[in-house]
Amino acid sequence: MTTYDLIFYLFAAVTLISAFFVVTNRNIVHAAFYLLFTLFGIAGIYVMLGSDFVAIVQLIVYVGGILILLLFGVMLTNKITNVDIKTGTIHALPASIVMGLFAGALGAAVFNTNWKVVELTSAEASTTGLGVMLVNEYALIFELLGILLLIALIGAASMARR
Amino acid sequence: MMYDWLYNATGSEVIAAIIQSLMPLFLFLLPFALFAVLLERKVSGHMQDRLGPMRVGYHGLLQTIADIIKLIQKEDIIAASNDKKFFNLSPLIVFIGSYAAFAAIPFSGAFLGSNIDLGIIYIVAVTGIVVAGILMGGWASNNKYSLLGAMRSAAQIISYEIPTLLVVVTVIMITGTMNLYTMSEWQTEHFWNWLILGGPVFGIQKILLIPLMIVSFLIIFLSTLAEVNRTPFDIPEAESELVSGYHTEYSGMKFAIFFLAEYANMFAISVIVSALFLGGFQSPIGYVGNLFGLPWLIPFEQFFWFAFKGIFFVFVQMWLRWTLPRFRVDQLMAFCWKYLIPFSFVILLIVGLITVL
């Protein structure tokens, strides 16, 4: 087992264990805090796969943005307005059937795919290539996504003003 | 480079990496924090026509060491209604977030934690972990002042991240790199090559850039100042309203870790701003090592300039803290959204035009 493997398993363990706690924890603020470790572990795995830009965007968007927003929402509703958020289990049977089917489909996809095996090389910076592709081959999609985000922003602002 | 030397000396990648990642903490950050705490007290004292600490050592030089010894002896108080697990975890996460930024900061030509291409963006990303840690501490303290302080702190950091990032994007457009080492190299040799004075390319572009860059420098300095919650932006720990914000409930070494993280953050933003606009570790007037043909001297000189610029801006932050009163919450938000963000957007557009033409 090389150092690379060791670090990979470390990040994988962090991700899986904290994800387990996110799902099972009864306290919703605790669950949100455990999500920090899950997102961090996933960013680590992206780095191990050599996609540095995706890892950092993962940190900026999920840890710096969505997680903080989630924490704000949970804290404000939970502590200040004294509304109980339900964290119990409901519809256990249909949920486990659907999840079992989904897990089966995922497992089948994982085990039946003919994975391409590439030799381990030292990772190269992916930002320049990504930027060139975004403004050349995928320029239209990139611009459309930009407009979509802008519309979402304006919508959020106008809803907040009401 | 330091890593190669360590690798040859120890013969193991892992040991070399561990030693290298601990070096900034033990050789630089801890002595710096000891010095900076004393400096803060001395600066505040002299600004208010007092002497500051005078008793321990010559003019109070050993005061911080005595304080640290006292803090180590203190009882670690955890109140019964604190959320114990996250209460203990929070100082650690805050410190990890602020120390992780040092991985991409070039200390000198010979010492750089990781020469990743995304340097400055990586630093912005790991700062997000600090916000989560602060919220965790404020919530786990189970104290309304702590929670309010943490909320204010998080809201402030998120708002002021926007002007910071806009200025960073402007700088990236001019230099064409996100790597802080390459950025510092780009502004090498003389102080008129610094980005605040238009960068090393002479011509019409330099003249056009000078006023824009001075305004950008002010914007990023103010917004990063707000991100580390220093006066005049210190409403998260406003003593007169909130006791001391998100670390009200912490005592002993946990409080010391929060304090260390704050000073580490202050130094980190100082060196990031100087790496973006003031040439980072590069000397403003050329190197003594080049003059006398002593190449081994240059990394040490670079480290001197790095520390000098960093500590100078830390001093400016203290100077502001003991000069200016605190903003009100609405003034704080208005300053960010109505002044800093529009200005940085306009500069971003103009600089975009200049670099295209």
pLDDT digits (tens, 9 = 90+) for A71-112: 887 777 765 555 566 666 778 889 899 999 999 999 999 888
Q: What is the mean pLDDT of chain B?
A: 83
Measured from the Cβ of residue B293, the count of other Cβ atoms closer than 10 Å reads 7
**Mutation choice for A interface testing from B115, B139, B144, B181 by most A CBs within 10 A:** B139
Residue of A53, A63, A127 with shortest CB distance to B132: A63
Which of B16-30, B178-192, B256-270 is modeled with the greatest confidence? Answer: B256-270
Residue of A3, A40, A68 with shortest CB distance to B158: A68
Across the range A44-71, mean pLDDT stands at 85
What is the distance in angstroms between the Cα of B152 and the nearest Cα belonging to chain A? 11
Which residues of A fall within a CB distance of 8 Å from B83? 30
Measured from the Cβ of residue A106, the count of other Cβ atoms closer than 10 Å reads 10
Look at residue A83 in the predicted model and tell me its pLDDT.
58
pLDDT single digits (tens) B137-171: 888 888 888 888 888 888 888 888 889 889 998 88
Alpha carbons A101 and A154: distance in angstroms, whole number:
39
Q: List the beta bridge partners of residue B190.
A: B285
Which residues of A fall within a CB distance of 8 Å from B151? 72, 75
Cis peptide bond prior to B53, omega within 30° of 0? no
Across the range B10-18, mean pLDDT stands at 76
Residue listed under structure tokens 């189970």: B142
Tell me if A3 and B13 make a contact (CB, 8 A cut-off).
yes
Alpha carbons A20 and B134: distance in angstroms, whole number:
24
Among B33, B163, B194, B5, smallest CA distance to B102 is for: B33
List alpha helices for chain B, DSSP H: 2-10, 13-23, 30-47, 63-73, 84-100, 119-140, 144-175, 180-186, 204-227, 239-242, 252-277, 288-292, 297-321, 329-334, 341-356
Burial degree of A120 (CB within 10 A; 0-12, 13-18, 19+): exposed
Look at residue A122 in the predicted model and tell me its pLDDT.
67
pTM for this prediction? 0.85
Q: What is the mean pLDDT of chain A?
A: 84
* Banded pLDDT at B204 (limits 50, 70, 90): confident
- Kindly tell me the number of DSSP H helices and DSSP E strands found in chain A: 7, 0
Alpha carbons A4 and A7: distance in angstroms, whole number:
5
Instruction: Decide: B183 and B171 in contact? Cβ < 8 Å.
Output: yes
SS (H, E, C) B119-176: HHHHHHHHHHHHHHHHHHHHHHCCCHHHHHHHHHHHHHHHHHHHHHHHHHHHHHHHHC
DSSP-derived letter for residue B102 is G
Tell me if A72 and B154 make a contact (CB, 8 A cut-off).
yes
Domain residue spans in chain B?
A: 74-356
Instruction: Decide: B137 and B92 in contact? Cβ < 8 Å.
Output: no
**Mutation choice for B interface testing from A34, A71, A81 by most B CBs within 10 A:** A71
Question: What are B312-317's contacts with CB under 8 Å, separation 24+?
Answer: B312/B270, B313/B221, B313/B269, B313/B270, B313/B271, B313/B273, B313/B274, B314/B36, B314/B39, B314/B266, B314/B267, B314/B270, B315/B39, B315/B43, B317/B225, B317/B230, B317/B266, B317/B270
Among B228, B252, B102, B249, smallest CA distance to B156 is for: B228
pLDDT single digits (tens) B165-195: 899 988 888 888 888 888 888 877 777 777 7
Q: How far is CA B174 from CA B205, B215, B353, in A?
A: 10, 15, 11
Tell me if B136 and A59 make a contact (CB, 8 A cut-off).
no
Residue listed under structure tokens 């500051």: B52
Look at residue A102 in the predicted model and tell me its pLDDT.
95
ipTM of the complex: 0.79
Instruction: State the number of CA atoms in the 13 A half-sphere of B301 facing the CB.
Output: 16
Tell me if B132 and A52 make a contact (CB, 8 A cut-off).
no
Instruction: Decide: A40 and A14 in contact? Cβ < 8 Å.
Output: yes
Instruction: Decide: B344 and B250 in contact? Cβ < 8 Å.
Output: no
Tell me if A127 and B158 make a contact (CB, 8 A cut-off).
no
Alpha carbons B32 and B150: distance in angstroms, whole number:
26
B335: Cβ contacts below 8 Å, ≥ 6 apart? B327
Report helix, strand or coil for B27: helix
Look at residue B182 in the predicted model and tell me its pLDDT.
82
Among B87, B246, B147, B131, smallest CA distance to A30 is for: B87
